[in-house]
Every structure is written in structure tokens, then in C-alpha cells.
Amino acid sequence: MSDPLSDVVALLKPRAVFSKGISGAGRWGVRYAEFGLPSFCAVLEGSCRLAIDGQPELILQAGDFLLLPKTPAFTLSGFDAVEPVTMVPVYGTTQVDELRHGNPDGPVDVRLLGGHFDFESPDASLLVAMLPARVHVRGVERLATLVRLVREESMAQEAGREFILTRLVEVLLIEALRAISDEQTPLGLLRGLADPRLSKALREVHGDLAQPWTVVQMAAIASLSRSAFFKRFTDTLGQAPMEYLLTWRMAVAKDLLRRTQQGMTEIADRVGYRSASAFSTAFTRHVGVPPSHYARRAS
């Protein structure tokens, strides 16, 4: 049986590009503009305030982990009132050992490991929409350990670095997403996977995309009537079942067109279409260009 969460992360194709230590001492505050890329941090010691635009303020403390799949503007600060210093997000690698905010010589009030990475998938915005806007997890040591490993590997500059970083970030994403509490889970795939009945249908669909699925078939797997399944699925994932299925089929088809030399008939069959012409019509309507044109453009 397939694992839909792993499927989404695999299609996102995350890769690590930047990691650094961060500390604050005394009176300090920094303000970052919207960045758009996914970012993360683990609090190693102490505590600080985090105010993300449009969200309730958070108090970050030792043992916390934070993941922002699409980083908005935010302010990070100590607990004294201060005008935050405007910071410019830096894309890419750096060898800075630790970025200190506030008093450069005073005792540290908070120490974090943070960084950001990138999604190579051109469908990143579509797939990120399936994830929570903010993941805040407390007391999961595995996440802090993974962040430390990302930090160490990003600094090492040894053979195999990019491969190891990519695998570490994939594991970091999955660990963070499956560690969030039910109350943090918004409408979308994660909430669907938390529902025992919907989860059965989602896993079957992801595991056999070539099947000509209908709502009736999915409902039977979930042991629900068609109408009850349709309402429960739509209320939980924010999409009707066939809309979700079409979105996922097209995401997989685009990935196959980009990275393989398979023919249209084979790709059509893999994503649930019985002919290349039916697949081409659906793909063109959904993506805006025929699959052959998309494949040439991607290559």
C-alpha cells in the first residue's frame, strides 16, 4: 500500500541549500521580509519570540522545532521591546559559524539552528498547498538531531554532500509533518491521512493510480456510502474526490514527462487513462499545453 505523504515529499524534490547557527543576547530583534522558500529551525537552548505575519505570536523554547513550507514575513526577537533590525534573506550556502543578534559579548539568551531549502519541483506551489502553513512541534528530539545533521553536513563540504543533504531534508520534512498535532492540521492531505476511513481510500488511490477510480469505488474502500464519503472527503481535504485525483494524476504525469523518456501511451496508462488521446485532452485542459509540448519545454 502506498504512502501518500512520502509521495508528496518525493515529488517536491527538496534539497538543502543553507544552514546556520543563530543566537540572541540582550535587547534584540530582527525583521525578515517574505521569503517564499521553505525554512526550518530547532531551538537548542533558551527562548525567544516569533511573530509571523497573519498568525498568532509564538514563544519558541528549547526543544521546539518550526517548519514554514512557504516562509512569510516574520519578526524574531528577545522579550524586551525593541525596534527590529531589517534583515535581507540570503539564498544559498554560507560558512558563517553563528549569526549573533544583540549584544555580541553578553551571555546568550537563545541559540537556534536554522536554515532554508528549495523545492526543485515546478509544481511546488500546488504540492505545498497540501501542507500546513506552519508546523510547530515541541519536545521531539529526533527533529533537533536531524537539524544538527543537516548543519554538520552543510558545513563539511565532503564527497556525497548534496545527496546526503537531500535525503536528510526529505526525512526532516516527513518527521515534522507526521509529528504535528490534530489541532494544527488544516484542511488537506494530512487531515485526510489522520481520518482512518479516508486514509484507506487515499492509500489505495496513491498505490494504484492506473485504476479507473470512481467515487463509488473509493467510498467502498472507506466503508461509507457515496454521499457520506463525498462530503467527508471534501470537508476534510478541501477538494472533491475526483478533483483531488485529477490534481494528483497531473502532478505525477508532469513528473514522468520531465524525467523519463516514456511514450504518451505508457504515461497515460500509468496515470489512469485508457488512451493517449484521452490523456492528452485532460492534460491540455488542466495544464494549458499538450503533454508533448510540456515535455519538450521541460527538457
62 and 117 co-located in one domain: yes
Q: How confident is the model at residue 130 (pLDDT cuts 50, 70, 90)?
A: confident
Give the three cell numbers for residue 63: 526543544
What mean pLDDT is reported for the chain? Answer: 87
Q: Of 126, 161, 184, at which residue does a domain stop? A: 184
pTM of the full predicted structure? Answer: 0.76
pLDDT digits (tens, 9 = 90+) for 185-222: 777 888 888 899 999 999 999 999 999 999 999 999 99
Helix (H, G, I), strand (E, B) or coil at 197: helix
Q: Supply the range of the domain harboring residue 47.
A: 4-184
37 and 172 co-located in one domain: yes
Q: Of 184, 206, 237, at which residue does a domain stop? A: 184
What pLDDT shows up at residue 180? Answer: 79
132 and 16 co-located in one domain: yes
Helix (H, G, I), strand (E, B) or coil at 114: strand
Q: Are 193 and 84 in contact (CB under 8 A)?
A: no
What pLDDT shows up at residue 164? Answer: 87
Domain with 38 in it: what CATH number? 2.60.120.280
What pLDDT shows up at residue 52? Answer: 93
Residue 44, phi then psi, degrees to nearest 5: -85, -35
Residue 177 parent element (H or E)? helix 161-179
